């Protein structure tokens, strides 16, 4: 089976781009006039994305549950960048209607009546893992454990993803994501960035629910990136390590004291390489502290101490690089069927999408 699977790589079939080029730095200016929704935008990574992309001239709809902080941040960034196309919209990601309202408002605020990129970033950390100290179970009516972390990190992200996969294909003037596109001829985008965590790639002790939520995000990404070509949407994922943001709890900071912790600027850089380069399709990276490394003859990376002209500083590492290189029969057959459906839709599907795009444009004119 392994020998047969190796003969059937699916990367090209699912429209996945080549491996992520760590050394390629795209031009931020491509983000100018792109309409971007960012959830959890009032602090942490969301704030970093907002500041960087606002400076590039993007139209940003910043969503957060914290109205005072979010509104103040948007006003400050407007002043700092001179970009008037920045908007704050209150959103509780755990509430379906709140997210529906966010996307509808984003379309109204968008100068072209559509959305180019959605960043599913909202997330929380658990101050105390309920599995480590179950309590009150001896009561007549024991209370359930606090599941808010799953409500935000998983359910909220699923809502965002679900809505994104409806709105992005209807972005007026956009074309299906294509890793072979010509950047200068690609005016609009259909892009979804999922923010997971290193906790979705490896176990983090005493963070069971947080780890469960982030593993679920990784699973969602790995499944959707094999089918998103049917919507013409490109999906990429960020998996930050322990990064210096408000999400890092005091306990985690104590544990990490004297060790390594990453910088939010490197996560923003990785996200920008996704957002500003329409060629990057179906790729995921982990972002951690900058390390001085050198690749050995076996292809592995070794830490380097002292001076070495061949060493390099790296904070961004690609993950799940080989998902579609060795595939089983089920994967090949189901992806083949989806390609056939896309072919059958042909011009009919194109006409339907164009009608939807024109309708979105007309609604924006009448708002």
Q: Which residues are catalytic?
A: 210, 214
Cα separation, 284 vs 286, in Å, equals: 7
Cα separation, 2 vs 5, in Å, equals: 5
Cα separation, 61 vs 107, in Å, equals: 10
Cα separation, 135 vs 212, in Å, equals: 20
- In 3D space, the residue among 181, 172, 190, 277 whose CA is nearest the CA of residue 229 turns out to be 190
Contact 58, 115 (CB under 8 A): no
| Other C-beta atoms lying within 10 Å of the C-beta of residue 188 | 20
Backbone angles phi, psi at 151, to 5 degrees: -60, -40
Contact 243, 27 (CB under 8 A): no
- In 3D space, the residue among 207, 188, 190, 270 whose CA is nearest the CA of residue 237 turns out to be 270
Whole-number Cα distances in Å, 301 to 144, 278, 287, 293, 333:
45, 29, 15, 6, 36
Q: Which two tokens stand for residue 6?
A: 């190796």
Q: Please give the DSSP secondary-structure letter assigned to residue 322.
A: T
Contact 138, 222 (CB under 8 A): no
Contact 231, 190 (CB under 8 A): yes
């Amino acid at each position: 089976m392994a020998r047969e699977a190796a003969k059937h790589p699916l990367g090209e079939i699912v429209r996945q781009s080549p491996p992520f080029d760590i050394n390629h730095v795209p031009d931020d200016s491509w983000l100018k006039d792109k309409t971007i929704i960012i959830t959890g935008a009032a602090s942490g990574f969301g704030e970093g994305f907002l500041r960087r992309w606002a400076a590039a001239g993007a139209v940003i709809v910043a969503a957060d549950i914290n109205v005072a902080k979010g509104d103040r941040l948007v006003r400050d960034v407007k002043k700092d960048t001179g970009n008037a196309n920045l908007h704050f919209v209150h959103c509780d990601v755990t509430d379906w209607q709140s997210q529906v309202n966010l996307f509808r408002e984003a379309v109204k605020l968008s100068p072209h009546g559509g959305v180019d990129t959605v960043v599913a970033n909202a997330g929380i950390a658990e101050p105390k893992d309920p599995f480590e100290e179950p309590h009150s179970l001896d009561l007549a009516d024991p209370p359930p454990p606090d599941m808010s972390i799953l409500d935000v990190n998983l359910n909220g992200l699923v809502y965002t993803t679900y809505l994104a996969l409806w709105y992005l294909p209807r972005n007026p003037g956009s074309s299906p994501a294509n890793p072979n596109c010509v950047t200068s001829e690609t005016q609009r985008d259909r892009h979804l960035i999922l923010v997971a965590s290193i906790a979705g790639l490896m176990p983090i002790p005493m963070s069971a629910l947080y780890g469960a939520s982030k593993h679920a995000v990784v699973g969602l990404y790995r499944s959707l990136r094999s089918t998103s070509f049917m919507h013409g949407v490109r999906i990429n994922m960020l998996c930050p390590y322990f990064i210096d943001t408000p999400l890092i709890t005091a306990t985690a900071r104590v544990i990490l004291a004297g060790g390594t912790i990453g910088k939010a600027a490197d996560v923003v850089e990785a996200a920008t390489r996704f957002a500003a380069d329409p060629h990057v399709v179906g790729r995921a990276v982990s972002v951690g502290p900058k390390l001085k490394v050198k690749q050995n003859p076996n292809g592995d990376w070794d830490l380097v101490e002292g001076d070495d002209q061949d060493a390099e500083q790296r904070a961004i590492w690609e993950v799940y690089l080989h998902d579609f290189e060795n595939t089983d029969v089920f994967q090949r057959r189901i992806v083949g069927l989806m390609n056939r459906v896309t072919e059958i839709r042909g011009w009919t599907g194109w006409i339907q999408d164009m009608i939807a795009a024109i309708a979105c444009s007309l609604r924006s004119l009448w708002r």
